[in-house]
Amino acid sequence: MKSGYLILGAGLAGLSAAYHLKAKNQSDWTILERTNDVGGLCKSNRDKDGFMFDQSIHILYSSDPYASGLIKKLLNNNMSVKKRESWVFSNGVYTPYPWQANTYGLPVKIIKECLLGVIKATYENKGRPNHNNFEDWCHATFGDGFAKLFMIPYNRKLWAIDLKQMSAAWIKDRVMTPALDEVIEGALHNHEKGFGPNAIFWYPKTGGIEALPRGFLPYLEQNKIKLNTEVNCIFWKEKKISTTDGRTWRYDKLILTLPLPFLARQMNPEMPPSLMDAVGRLEHNTVYAINLAIKRDELSPYHWVYFPEEKYCLHRISFPKNFSSAMVPDGWNSITVEVSASRHRKVLPKDKLIDIVLADLLDAGVIKKSDTVEVKSVFVLNPAYIIYNHTHRNNVDDLHEFLNKNEIFPCGRFGEWEYLNMDHSILSGKRTIDKILEGSG
């Protein structure tokens, strides 16, 4: 087998790479995908009872005009526009997200502690470096109250790592940082404004989030997408790969959307020792998405809710029906519960985890003892989020430099090893093709 451009992985980045090759009149491409369908992490699963679950929460938005236009083209008429309803549950109270701009309604003692802390931090740290690590950044940016009561406990659960082990290099445009006057205003009354780039988001009317990657298929020759084809070994010096079904594929350019840590066992011969060490220093977490069916027509008005308090094992829940009524059969509702783990924080066995999650939902009043609750599935996303440890940038840059020199081009969240949203992953596919073609021109 021979392909000029061999793409490993049929997630958003891989499909985007093929789409943009075709747009540049490049027809000699092939995608190899180990599973039986396209989509990667952007898959949606419908069961025999009519419940559909995405593999954890996915929403669409973009500040990039090209990405916005392409997403709308791919979804065509199958796109709804939503005003975000994201909330935080703490101290027995629901407050709008972001918590740091919406403390109105919380106990006065907590509001006072948070306001005094953020005012002190704002003036004491003005003009000073505040990002030796993520935890220090939280204290220096939001003050001790917000850091202690929300930022640190929530993010420690989400990332499943001590925040001192994380750098602050990833934070720009990722963590909401309202201005001081907005924080104070949000303590006095409810804000009317929405914060952040996803205050308005898009979601498919039908088909779940998988409708987005499937939107690429009408523009691609599907016989060039080889499903159930898993990479076994990358013979990088010979520019060929082997697959578990015994086939060998030769290539001119290899576009890699697989996770960078996989290279440790797939590259033959091994990469130089310094790069193998770099692979070993890459960090990520794992997310367990526990999907529940609830026999109740109305359950919650929210899209998703954050749980910062340490007494709860879960860190976020979402309500698929509020994204699209097509996600559940009539008379039912559903919840996706997210729990993170990593090599630093192990998760409980699945049966015990489900029991704890159900107890958390009961304690928070999300479900009632009288509810009929069915556990529909548990998705394990591994890897899920890229953890920005203090050596992340150097490790990734060294690996990318080596790979590029050998005609291997990392792409997407796991190839780039960056915290990319769906629009970023699509743009990564385009950017990778532009880079390859410009370099060969």
Residues 179 and 242 in one domain: no
- Counted domains in the chain: 2
**3-state SS, residue 60:** strand
State the pLDDT at residue 176. Answer: 87
Print the domain residue range for 394: 2-38+216-283+389-440
* 78 belongs to a structural domain: no
Residues 146 and 265 in one domain: no
Q: Which of 151, 172, 188 is the last residue of a domain?
A: 188
Residues 267 and 122 in one domain: no
Residues 161 and 109 in one domain: yes
Residue 230 · residue 38 · CB < 8 Å: no
* 291 belongs to a structural domain: no
Residues 274 and 405 in one domain: yes
Residues 276 and 418 in one domain: yes
Return the bridge partners of 2, or none.
250
Residues 277 and 419 in one domain: yes
Residues 181 and 103 in one domain: yes
* 194 belongs to a structural domain: no
How far CA 382 is from CA of 41, 54, 331, in Å, comes to 10, 15, 33
Residues 226 and 277 in one domain: yes
- Per cent of the chain over pLDDT 70 is 99
Contacts of 281 (CB under 8 A, 6+ apart): 389, 391, 395
Q: Residue 435's closest CA among 389, 404, 412?
A: 404
My answer on whether omega of the bond before 383 falls inside 30° of 0, hence cis, is yes
* 293 belongs to a structural domain: no
Residues 252 and 117 in one domain: no
Spatial separation of the C-alpha atoms in residues 354 and 210, rounded to whole Å: 26
* 242 belongs to a structural domain: yes
- List pLDDT tens digits, range 38-76: 999 999 999 999 999 999 999 999 999 999 999 999 999
Q: Which of 149, 171, 188 is the last residue of a domain?
A: 188
Contacts of 358 (CB under 8 A, 6+ apart): 292, 367, 373
- List pLDDT tens digits, range 326-337: 999 999 999 999
* 195 belongs to a structural domain: no
My answer on whether omega of the bond before 273 falls inside 30° of 0, hence cis, is no
Residues in the chain: 441
Residue 398 · residue 371 · CB < 8 Å: no
Contacts of 125 (CB under 8 A, 6+ apart): 140, 141
Q: Which of 170, 188, 206 is the last residue of a domain?
A: 188
Residues 176 and 257 in one domain: no
- pLDDT < 50 positions in the chain: 441
State the pLDDT at residue 401. Answer: 97
Spatial separation of the C-alpha atoms in residues 254 and 408, rounded to whole Å: 5
Number of Cβ within a 10 Å radius of residue 174: 11
* 423 belongs to a structural domain: yes
Burial tier of 238 (Cβ tally within 10 Å: 0-12, 13-18, 19+): exposed
Spatial separation of the C-alpha atoms in residues 298 and 331, rounded to whole Å: 8
Looking at residue 329, its amino acid is P
Residues 222 and 183 in one domain: no
Spatial separation of the C-alpha atoms in residues 21 and 29, rounded to whole Å: 8
CATH number at residue 406: 3.50.50.60
* 177 belongs to a structural domain: yes
State the pLDDT at residue 441. Answer: 42
Beta-carbon-side half-sphere exposure of residue 121 (alpha carbons within 13 Å) = 24
State the pLDDT at residue 128. Answer: 63
DSSP single-letter state for residue 271? P
